[in-house]
Amino acid sequence: MKDPSRKRHIAKALTWRIVGSVDTVFLSWLITGNPMTGLKIGFAEVITKMVLYYLHERVWFSINLSKSGLVRENKMRHLAKTITWRMVGTADTMVLAWLLTGNPLTGVKIGLAELLTKMILYYIHERIWYRIDYGLIDRVEM
């Protein structure tokens, strides 16, 4: 039997990547002053972030937070996912920006700028997806 949650995680990865890439392009453009640099960084991260986000979702899906053996979904879990994802995502953006601009300080500036914007956007994304049943067989409210 196929795991329906995989479809959900792929859909979440796609929607998040759209939101995240638009944010990265915009911030990179603002910081470097060059829209092409913003586009290069934004497009470069599409593949790396899709893979990293999918893996992050699979790890969090497997984490069992309740004594009854059910995965618990709540605001604290979403906050924890937000923080862990942001750590992974920021590191990826910093490295990509450094490699594409040749300047490590540019990578740090873009990464730090993303910390706030992406955490807010990711939390909102998580809350929206929590309300969507796509890819779930049964949802247990706790």
Tokens of 90: 């920021």
The pLDDT value recorded for residue 68 is: 44
SS3 content of the chain, % helix, strand, coil (to 5): 75, 0, 25
Measuring CA to CA, how many Å separate 121 from each of 13, 28, 30, 115? 14, 17, 18, 10
Question: Rounded to an integer, what distance in angstroms lies between the CA atom of residue 42 and that of residue 38?
Answer: 6
Residues in the chain: 142
Q: How many Cα neighbours within 13 Å face the side chain of 51?
A: 5
**pLDDT score for 126:** 86
Q: What are phi and psi of 136, to 5 degrees?
A: -110, 140
Query: What pLDDT is recorded for position 38?
Result: 94
Q: What is the pLDDT of residues 17-41, one digit of tens each?
A: 899 899 999 999 999 999 999 999 9
pLDDT below 70 — which residues of the chain?
1-4, 64-73, 137-142
Spatial distance between the Cα atoms of 111 and 5, rounded to a whole number of angstroms: 30
- The structure's pTM equals 0.72
Residue 80: predicted pLDDT: 85
- The domain ranges of the chain are 5-62+71-130
